[in-house]
Structure 1
Amino acid sequence: MKIINNNVVLASDDHEDVVVLMGRGLGFGVRASDPVDDARVERTFVPTAWHPPEHITAFLEQIPAEHLAVAEEVVRLGRRELGEHVDDHVVIPLADHLSFALRRAQEGVEITYPLRGEVLHLYPQEVSLSRQAIALVDERLGTRLPDMEAIPLALHFVNAQFRSADMSKVVELTEMFAAVLTEVGIYLGLRLDEDSLQVSRFITHLRYFARRQDGPETPTSTFSSLYSSLRNTHPREVDCAEHIGAILRQRQRWAVGQDEVLYLALHISRLAAGATTS
């Protein structure tokens, strides 16, 4: 065990992995050779490549405990509303953001975030959760954050799906998702309803497709007969899907096989069915 301060220590779990433990008086009057008093442990943080132990301990020394508690409550709410990918790894970056946002709000400083329109249309569930988080912060801490804070908070919840330390990846993907939607509309000569269920499902598909790019390559040509059938019945949509696939290969360096083009074409067919001519 390594004592950081009276309330934070570094220790090893049952698998000999380093964890950061927090609890009132957990490090007070103890030695490195002493066992951890489990009854005093209030929070356990598991370090990662992007949040090493020294990062976590420095954070815990700087962030007020009440800000951390609200962030944990928001993450629990996010897990219920969005899924298990909103896990404890989100707590630290979320608490860090909330703490700075609270300071800005108390000082009357308001920031305009880019991609506001894109985030509102592409991530409606995350935006809804972020607005609940703003209300929860107000209820727990008595400070009302500007409505604009729903934008970066939503991106934190989107980023949870990719488990990335770098928010720039989510910003880049958001710009790309918006560009793909625009490209589909232009290619087919349609006006897409950005608030429709079809658009929401299309963006969800792109998000999972983006996540799969970091995993093993998916075998292709599983649905060649279905691909041929769809090309006969919906040639424009398949052509559009191949066009989008070429863009993703060129701009994002994504692996886009025939199966993925098929999935894109199916989603684009649904988009076309619910759109109006531009």
Structure 2
Amino acid sequence: MRVTKVFNNNVLLAADDAGTEVVLMGKGLAFQVRPGDAVREDVVERTFVAGGSTTPERIVALVDEIPAEDIDLTERIVTAARERLGPHITGHVVVPLADHISFALQRARQDVQITYPLQWEVLHLYPREVAFAREALTMVRDATGVDLPALEAVPLALHFVNAQFGAGELSRTVEMTEVFGAVLGIVRTRLGIEVDEESIDVARFITHLRYLFVRQQQGVAPPDMQGVLLDAVRGANPAAHAAAVAIQELLSERYAWTVTGDEVLYLTLHVSRLAGAVGAS
């Protein structure tokens, strides 16, 4: 690992052989060090992964403000989240999550109340992330003695959802959540049904939509299932297909995406499953 930039005597930016940038901290780590030098890895005390909106400079600025014990706590939470939610919970999450947790602790100690938008949507659309976020609140209480409000599970869950998209701006995940609510509104209106947001079918539908967002972000096409299948599904489920087309139009209008016929097919199948589940209940 080689040094690419020195911030101060204790903090530097380095890159590994694959070109991945990391911010490294350690007492005297960067003293009399120049770009191109090998990193004294035995002196490294902390490693932070840069990426997305979390630039090296932002990491350095935030870490300088966040108490070390809050960073330690966040690293433990991220490790536990990776075990519960999957390997997409990477080191990219540590700094933005530590920033949020540290600020939430400050507010709680000062008895400052805050509300969050999309509370209902987050609590119903991301049950796995919310369940772990509640575990994280227990970890915070055990480590600090501070009981954060139960609704802090909402932003924590959004951070874990956001990790699926490579730690980009959290605002994009908030916008995505708003779109999910609008998509379910289309299903209700077009099919004239009530949708149980806590059902397994809705969970599968939201999971599909999340991966649709990932595919669009990465420019990856879904598996090819169009052809005769699309005609068959459209003929058998015209209302579900109409809802899927309306969802396609919403995504195209909101994000200027090209939502392919294959994606419409998958959306139709999911919407049809939701309608079937309601009809069977």
- TM-score scaled by length of structure 1: 0.90
Equivalent residue letter for 1:70: L
Structure 2 counterpart of 1:138, one-letter code:
R
Q: Which runs of 5+ in 2 are unaligned?
A: none
Question: What percentage of aligned pairs have identical amino acids?
Answer: 48
Q: What SS class does the counterpart of residue 218 from structure 2 fall into?
A: coil
Deviation at 1:246, TM superposition (A): 2.2
Whether the 8 Å CA contact 1:184–1:240 is kept in 2: the answer is yes
Cα deviation, residue 36, structure 1 = 4.0
In the alignment, which residue of structure 2 is the partner of 1:27?
A: 29
Deviates more, 1:10-19 or 1:98-107: 10-19
1:51 is the counterpart of 2:54: yes
What letter corresponds to residue 29 of structure 2 in structure 1?
G
Return the letter of the residue paired with 1:83: G
1:145 corresponds in structure 2 to 148
Identify unmatched segments of 5+ residues in structure 1.
none
2:51/2:167 contact within 8 Å kept: no
Aligned length: 275
Q: Which moved more, 1:233-242 or 1:218-227?
A: 218-227
Asked whether the 8 Å contact 1:4–1:27 carries over to 2, the reply is no
Q: Write the distance in 2 (CA, Å) between the matches of 1:45 and 1:221.
A: 39
Q: Quick one: which amino acid aligns to residue 76 of structure 1? A: T
For the pair 1:178 / 2:181, whether they are aligned, the reply is yes
- Tell me if the contact between 1:26 and 1:37 (Cα under 8 Å) persists in the aligned partners: no
Find the partner of 1:246 among 229, 246, 249. 249
Structure 1 residue 98 corresponds to structure 2 residue 114: no
Alpha-carbon offset, residue 182 of structure 1? 1.3
CA RMSD in angstroms, aligned pairs only: 2.3
Mapped contact 1:79–1:86 kept (Cα < 8 A): yes
Three-state SS of the structure 1 residue aligned to 2:217 is coil
Return the alpha-carbon distance in structure 1 between the equivalents of residues 161 and 168 of structure 2: 12
Deviation at residue 43 of structure 1 after TM alignment: 2.0
TM, length-normalised to structure 2: 0.89
Match of residue 85 from structure 1: 88
Is 244-253 or 4-13 further displaced after alignment? 4-13
In structure 1, what is the Cα distance between the partners aligned to 2:223 and 2:33?
Answer: 55
1:227 counterpart = 2:230: yes
